[in-house]
């Protein structure tokens, strides 16, 4: 079913069916032939609970032109791993287990998915939408680590932070522009650094490809599943509830971007904590006794929130609440 749709799409978008598969494949998986997850049909929408969506609401970010202090020299560290499964490939992904739990939009992750395309996928779904949803992208583009002898992808997990470095990698269809070197570092307290060492071209000039957009930033989504009544098909809807776009103009030699997460409802694990978060953050947090979760309706537990009917039974008020504190927001200065 999914294959059929994919071919229809291909047919509609271009007349060339010469490419076997324009999707990310786990290393070792057969690139040709029938795909294993063809019972899923995925689609994407943007979730809106508020009238105006401020992309910096969940996370504040800062761009540094002179950001070399965020570059980590990991090449000579004895704990650094050369990800050989990714270092001679394209459109390839690999799950990396973390030695610490990394909070992403308040959700604690045990692993991330490394890709050859200059980004990490931050969830576990096997979907062709990984370039559109739940990505952490210092520089997402169609890179190919086969093109260039010194191209490699390195990781260093030191127990409290993970650095992923794309070293000397080149664009799949345009090796003339030269090699790119950049990193992201994920800290156990949720802070994220993007650091750029060598960016040989104006990133704005790298064209999006049909199956591979060029993106810089973060996104997260929740997923709602719907089973077909008759056929063995699962419709999977990805709703993006937050997306932070960083201007491509800020991606230059030596620059960096730092993201500071804000406390969000989902981190509250008791009713009283949840009420406190409602008072101290700019989010409207509600406690759902049925699922014992704190939420504003926009996080990865949304499906459960709906199936347990939390919206109608959630605790929205407690008696004798304190007056709301003024909130300090350090607004990002986007370059
Ligand atoms: C981010 O950029 C993409 C295009 O690359 C656009 O579709 C999306 O609406 C932007 N999101 C925000 C929050 O600005
Ligand atoms: C690379 O691909 C893009 C989009 O498909 C195209 O616009 C561009 O001309 C290609 N560049 C080369 C060198 O083939
Ligand atoms: C999180 O860790 C980073 C790196 O160690 C540090 O710079 C930052 O100040 C920390 N943030 C908080 C809120 O503790
Ligand atoms: C970035 O650095 C590389 C060498 O590291 C250099 O060749 C290139 O011209 C620089 N680009 C810019 C825009 O300064
Ligand atoms: C949570 O905050 C909203 C908006 O600031 C407010 O209307 C609501 O009464 C608050 N709930 C509690 C329990 O304080
Ligand atoms: C988890 C969390 O804080 N989610 C918020 C992210 O931002 C969107 C709007 O941009 C809010 O609706 C969510 O509540």
pLDDT digits (tens, 9 = 90+) for 28-59: 454 444 444 458 888 888 775 433 334 445 56
Q: Considering Cα of 141, then 147, then 150, then 153, what sign does the dihedral take? A: positive
Q: What residues pair up with 193 in beta bridges, in sequence order?
A: 185, 258
Contact 335, 62 (CB under 8 A): no
Q: pLDDT-derived band of residue 184, with 50, 70 and 90 as boundaries? A: very high
Token code pair at residue 266: 């989902």
Whole-angstrom distance, CA of residue 130 vs CA of residue 82: 23
**What pLDDT, on the 0 to 100 scale, is given for residue 120?**
98
- Which pLDDT tens digit goes with each residue over 225-235? 888 888 888 89
**What pLDDT, on the 0 to 100 scale, is given for residue 59?**
65
Residue 28 burial by Cβ neighbours in a 10 Å radius (0-12, 13-18, 19+): exposed
pTM: 0.81
* Nearest ligand 3 atom to alpha carbon 191: 1
Phi, psi of 2 (to 5 degrees): -65, -35
List the residue whose alpha carbon is closest to atom 6 of ligand 3.
191
Q: For strand 81-82 and strand 152-157, is the pairing parallel, antiparallel, or unpaired?
A: antiparallel
Q: Mean pLDDT of all residues in the chain?
A: 82
What H or E segment, with its residue span, contains residue 310?
A: helix 310-313
Q: Which-ligand-closest: CA of 274?
A: 5
In this predicted structure, the answer to whether residue 10 has a pLDDT above a threshold of 70 is no
Whole-angstrom distance, CA of residue 95 vs CA of residue 125: 11
Q: How far is the CA of 76 from the centre of ligand 4 (A)?
A: 23
State the DSSP string of 196-250: EEE--S-GGGSPPBTTB--EEEEEEEEEEEEE-SSSS-EEEEEEEEEEEEPPGGG
Q: How far is the CA of 275 from the centre of ligand 5 (A)?
A: 8
Whole-angstrom distance, CA of residue 142 vs CA of residue 173: 8
């Amino acid at each position: 079913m999914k294959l059929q749709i994919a071919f229809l799409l291909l047919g509609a978008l271009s007349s060339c069916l010469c490419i076997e598969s324009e999707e990310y494949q786990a290393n070792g998986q057969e690139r040709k032939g029938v795909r294993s997850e063809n019972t899923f049909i995925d689609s994407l929408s943007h979730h809106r609970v508020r009238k105006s969506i401020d992309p910096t609401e969940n996370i504040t970010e800062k761009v540094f032109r002179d950001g070399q202090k965020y570059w980590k020299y990991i090449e000579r560290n004895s704990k650094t791993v050369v990800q050989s499964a990714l270092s001679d490939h394209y459109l390839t992904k690999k799950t990396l287990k973390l030695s610490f739990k990394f909070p992403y939009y308040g959700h604690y992750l045990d692993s991330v998915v490394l890709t050859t395309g200059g980004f990490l996928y931050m969830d576990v779904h096997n979907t062709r939408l990984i370039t559109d949803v739940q990505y952490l992208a210092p520089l997402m583009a169609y890179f190919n680590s086969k093109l260039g002898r010194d191209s490699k992808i390195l990781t260093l997990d030191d127990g409290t932070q993970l650095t992923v470095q794309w070293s000397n990698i080149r664009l799949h269809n345009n090796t003339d522009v030269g090699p790119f070197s950049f990193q992201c570092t994920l800290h156990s307290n949720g802070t994220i650094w993007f650091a750029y060492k060598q960016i040989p071209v104006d990133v704005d000039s790298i064209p999006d490809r049909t199956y591979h957009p060029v993106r810089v930033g973060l996104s997260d989504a929740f997923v709602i599943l719907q089973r077909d009544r008759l056929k063995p098909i699962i419709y999977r809807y990805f709703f993006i509830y937050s997306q932070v776009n960083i201007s491509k103009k800020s991606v230059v030699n030596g620059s960096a971007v730092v993201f500071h997460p804000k406390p969000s409802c989902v981190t509250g694990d008791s009713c009283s904590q949840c009420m406190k978060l409602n008072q101290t953050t700019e989010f409207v947090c509600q406690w759902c006794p049925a699922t014992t979760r704190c939420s504003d309706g926009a996080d990865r537990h949304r499906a459960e929130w709906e199936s347990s009917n939390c919206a109608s039974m959630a605790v929205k008020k407690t008696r004798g609440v304190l007056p709301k504190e003024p909130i300090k927001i350090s607004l990002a200065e986007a370059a």
